[in-house]
């Protein structure tokens, strides 16, 4: 049984991977453009933001793991 690439790209796991990837990219752009304001936050707020980024990146990585295992889709092979 062969799986078409178009079927893989519209699967929920691949779509959630793409959405979280774009959202993380958007967050990075916001952080870069507002770095002066973020630099002035107190230590507790900085730790909270770091924890949120860590959780977001971890979840995105787990989605990568699921997509790679289920569909053998490794984006590093595209380059």
| Host domain of residue 26 | 10-78
**Structural domain includes residue 5:** no
pLDDT at 56 over 90: yes
pLDDT recorded at residue 12: 81
**Structural domain includes residue 1:** no
Mean pLDDT to the nearest integer, 7-18:
78
**Structural domain includes residue 74:** yes
The domain tally of the chain equals 1
Residue 50 φ/ψ, nearest 5 degrees: -65, -40
pLDDT recorded at residue 51: 96
User: Where residue 15 falls among pLDDT bands split at 50, 70, 90?
Assistant: confident
Q: Kindly report the average pLDDT of the chain as a whole number.
A: 87
Mean pLDDT to the nearest integer, 39-65:
94
pLDDT at 1 over 60: no
């Amino acid at each position: 049984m062969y799986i078409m690439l178009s079927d893989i790209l519209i699967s929920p796991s691949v779509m959630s991977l793409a959405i979280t990837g774009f959202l993380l990219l958007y967050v990075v752009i916001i952080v870069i453009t507002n770095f002066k304001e973020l630099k002035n936050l107190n230590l507790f707020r900085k730790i909270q933001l770091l924890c949120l980024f860590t959780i977001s990146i971890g979840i995105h990585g787990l989605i990568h793991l699921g997509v790679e295992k289920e569909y053998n889709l490794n984006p590093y092979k595209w380059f």
